[in-house]
Amino acid sequence: MLPAQPNRGLIDGLQCLRALAISKTPVGVREMANRMLMEPTKVHRLLKTLTYMGMVQQDKERRYLIGGGIQVLANLGFNGSELEWRRDKAIQLLSRDIKHNIAFGVMWEGMVTYLEGIQQSSKIVAGDGIDQISWDSLEEASTCCTGLVLLAGKNDEEVERIYRGRPIPGFIGGLGDLRRKLSEIQVRNYAYLTEVTRQRLGALAVPFTDGLSALEVRGPIVQGDFQRISEIVRQVILTVERSWRWNE
């Protein structure tokens, strides 16, 4: 929920940083302004400030790209944090009960990143030797289980803000279709997808109770196993959360 007196400059700066982070190529000021629907002079000031802070850098053509500062900041925020402990403990416990592939994911502004995963003995390897169950480091939230289950924990206002003015991958009908999908997920408290790879493998994700992260499982999961596996994942999450509170 937006605070009563939000810092618009900070919001714009973070949105600018996000737009640059998801860009596949360096971006000029005018192109960035078009993407963000902002005045070029304002975007120029934001980019210059982010460059000064080391979050952004410029190439030889004076276009902007992500700098080293954001990588360091990400590591500082994660290493030794509760999130790192949560990930390690959850994957360790779940790998004892489930022999599918497991990953720990978080979401921000409609994008999901998997902080780490584990490939287990049930992985499927194609005839050419290429592993078909791979974890992309970054995925659109609306196209993966972790993203969908974490979006389901947001209120309608927040979901609308995330996707305002841009298409929703995987949902041709737009926000209405996405909301219907999220309502279904809210009822069962886990998200699942079938045929997530060419080999028709399944995936499901269960959120931690604070809605900040989720555990996702992928593998040769048949329709009738989603509920059973989701309960196993949920029990692991509850165990991890109780352990953290005890350690505090």
Q: Specify the length of the chain in residues.
A: 248
Assess whether pLDDT exceeds 90 at residue 178: yes
Q: Which two tokens stand for residue 95?
A: 């790998």
Other beta carbons within 10 angstroms of residue 87's beta carbon come to 23
pLDDT in tens, 213-241: 999 998 888 888 899 999 999 999 999 99
Domain made up of 8-73: CATH architecture: Orthogonal Bundle (1.10)
Contact 205, 216 (CB under 8 A): yes
Domain made up of 80-247: CATH architecture: 2-Layer Sandwich (3.30)
Other beta carbons within 10 angstroms of residue 119's beta carbon come to 15
Assess whether pLDDT exceeds 80 at residue 101: yes
Give the residue ranges of DSSP H helices in 102-216. 145-151, 156-163, 175-188
Contact 141, 168 (CB under 8 A): no
Q: Which whole number is the average pLDDT over 36-54?
A: 94
Q: Which two tokens stand for residue 9?
A: 């400059």
- pTM passes above 0.75: yes
% of the chain exceeding 90 in pLDDT: 56
Mean pLDDT for the chain overall: 86
Q: CATH 3.30.450.40 spans which residues of the chain?
A: 80-247
- What pLDDT, on a 0 to 100 scale, did the predictor assign at position 81? 79
Assess whether pLDDT exceeds 60 at residue 21: yes
Q: CA-to-CA distance for 207 and 200, rounded, in angstroms?
A: 23
Assess whether pLDDT exceeds 70 at residue 33: yes
- What pLDDT, on a 0 to 100 scale, did the predictor assign at position 138? 82
Q: CATH 1.10.10.10 spans which residues of the chain?
A: 8-73
Q: CA-to-CA distance for 85 and 82, rounded, in angstroms?
A: 5
